[in-house]
Amino acid sequence: MNKSHACLLLLILFSGIQALYADLPVVRVRIIHAEDKIELSFNAKVTITSAENNKLALRGKNHLFLSPENERMIISDIDGEVILKGKSLRIDSNDPGKSIEIKNVPFGNGWWWAGEEDRSYPGDLEFYINNDNTIDVINIVNIEDYLYGVLPAEIGTEAPAEALKAQAVCARSEALIGLETGKYAGAHYDLTADVMTQVYQGVGETNEAVRKAVDATGGEVLAYKDTVISAYYSSNCGGHTEDIENIWPERSGHRPYWSGNPDMEKATTPDLRQSDNIRDWIENEPDAWCRTDENTPEWAKNNFRWKRSVEPGELSKALSAKYHDVGRIYDIVPLERGISGRINDIIFIGDSGHIRIKGELEIRRLWDSPLRSSCFVVDKIGPSGRPASFIISGAGWGHGVGMCQVGAIAMAEKGKTYQDILSHYFRGSHLQKKYK
């Protein structure tokens, strides 16, 4: 569900990633960014070490609080007694299989699903004070345990086995690319736990089906001509996936494995870059793999086709806040669409000027909350020169590049294997084993 993003670094594909790993790769995942207080609990043996190499061993049930103070990290117990200080802190878990729970972890910042929840993390934790004098939390975990926490967040625990396997391969490929190239990295981490990389929520929601899918595909990634590829995915392509160059032109030119195609078994589609065709496509709901039915997960039922009403004043306010004031909006004109019908160039016309916005994500994030996708058509309600509202009718959820998660679920329900699913969404790619 993608899992919407700020600017990301240019994708670099290293030839070194072709080699087998001698050991299970370990990733450093930033799970919390810029919080002024961290609360955690555990029932395990741990060792806490400061940057100054002061150590504290704890066992059994503990409830701890971390906060920044004068550029140092303060860790205190349930009674408020300070038990350790340091410029940074690390908690090493000495009980394999036991996790550390962090309270009120924020998620989905900037999106309509934003919230907080308690989450449990395997492996070790590091805590750093950032430039804003707030805390960043890093989870250090082997890549397979990391995947146990990605699948529930990205495709759900109830997806059929072959869809879970396909998701495991995609997530593993993306993690290894991030680890090898550093394209998502910061000062202390390789990956983030949000949609900037892929969503990772710890292992609190992991079930047996997820573990089996990860284990069954252990070490497998997607490759093209012996080079591991980023296996992008989004929640629902709306019936047609998108060419990467129309979403992230800075990352790549055209690639067959990142090309847009109909999400159907044997079908052709009209040219969705044309206004008449895209309107018919959205309004008549083609028989695509990702078309929702009784087998579609609850979280995905409203994403194949959707509607949104917006008032001109609301749009004017949003445009003024992010760009400049052009008065009351009276027209919205798509200028360019990608192969899936997603808009990547649009103009908003007001009674005192206009604003042109380029980029699929920039267009989606103009709205508060963001649109599900930029594949939409617009209808005016009221007089053409002074509409009372605009009706946005759209298709899909997400950028549309690579695997459509709802389509993968439907394919698995119809008996397709994870190899079939990956071949459908990543044309010309093949599976490759990177470690045992």
Region of poorest pLDDT, from 3-12, 113-122, 350-359, 399-408: 3-12
* pLDDT in the model for residue 13: 34
pLDDT(173) > 70: yes
DSSP per residue, 49-93: EETT--EEEE-SEEEEEEEEETTEEEEE-TT--EEEEESEEEEEE
> Per-residue confidence at 3, pLDDT binned at 50, 70, 90?
very low
Q: How many helices (H) and strands (E) does the chain have?
A: 9, 24
Is the whole-model pTM more than 0.85?
Answer: yes
Mean pLDDT of the chain: 93
pLDDT band at 2 (very low <50, low <70, confident <90, very high): very low
Percent of the chain with pLDDT over 90: 85
Q: What is the rounded distance in angstroms from the CA atom of residue 315 to the CA atom of residue 313? A: 5
Nearest CA to 305 among 331, 321, 287?
287
Instruction: Identify any residues that bridge with 432 across adjacent strands, giving them in sequence order.
Output: 221
Q: Torsion-angle region of residue 133: left (phi > 0), alpha (psi -120 to 50) or beta?
A: left
Q: Quote the pLDDT of residue 20.
A: 67
- pLDDT (tens digit, 9 = 90+) per residue, 340-350? 999 999 999 99
Q: Give dist(CA 344, CA 413) in Å, integer.
A: 33
Q: What pLDDT, on the 0 to 100 scale, is given for residue 58?
A: 97
301 token code pair: 């039922």
Contact 42, 99 (CB under 8 A): yes
**Chain CA centroid to CA 434, Å:** 23
Pick 378 or 253 by higher pLDDT. 378
CA gap 255, 248 in Å, rounded: 12
What are the C-alpha distances in Å from 248 to residues 28, 130, 329, 429? 25, 29, 28, 20
pLDDT of residue 97: 87
Q: Quick one: pLDDT band at residue 266, thresholds 50, 70, 90? A: confident
pLDDT in tens, 72-103: 999 999 999 999 999 999 999 999 889 999 99
What tens digit of pLDDT does each residue of 124-144 get?
999 999 988 999 999 999 999
* Model pLDDT, residue 95: 92
Main-chain dihedrals φ then ψ at residue 99, nearest 5 degrees: -115, 170
pLDDT of residue 370 exceeding 70, the answer is: yes
Angle at which helices 161-181 and 418-425 cross, to 10°:
50
Q: What is the mean pLDDT of residues 309-316?
A: 96
Task: Say whether pLDDT at 6 is over 50.
Answer: no
Residue 403's Cβ-side half-sphere holds a number of Cα atoms within 13 Å equal to: 35
